[in-house]
Amino acid sequence: MPKAYVMINCDKGFGEETVKAMKRLKHVEAADVVYGVYDIIAVVRAPTNAAMEDAIMNKIRKVKGVSSTLTMLVAKS
């Protein structure tokens, strides 16, 4: 089952609202506000690569407040 870490930048003032919305999305196992270059890190697990792509491209990136993402697909666990 594919797993990815998605680093997310938010528009100013949207961090907490955005992380709450992330936690409601299918395939998002966890989402936390973090300090540093990114505002949120999310753990995404999906049954297929196509489902992973859909979760990131069509769900996460369309959440209000998301300005950019960086996805790291897990190669080996």
- Condensed to tens digits (0 to 9), the pLDDT of residues 15-63 reads 889 999 999 999 999 999 999 999 999 999 999 999 999 999 999 999 9
Distance CA 32, CA 10 (A): 13
Q: How confident is the model at residue 6 (pLDDT cuts 50, 70, 90)?
A: very high
Domain annotation for the chain: domains and CATH numbers: 3-73 (3.30.70.920)
Look at residues 51, 60, 73, 57 and name the one whose alpha carbon lies nearest to residue 25: 60
Mean pLDDT of 1-5: 95
Q: What is the pLDDT of residue 52?
A: 96
Angle at 37 between CA 18 and CA 17, to 5 degrees: 10
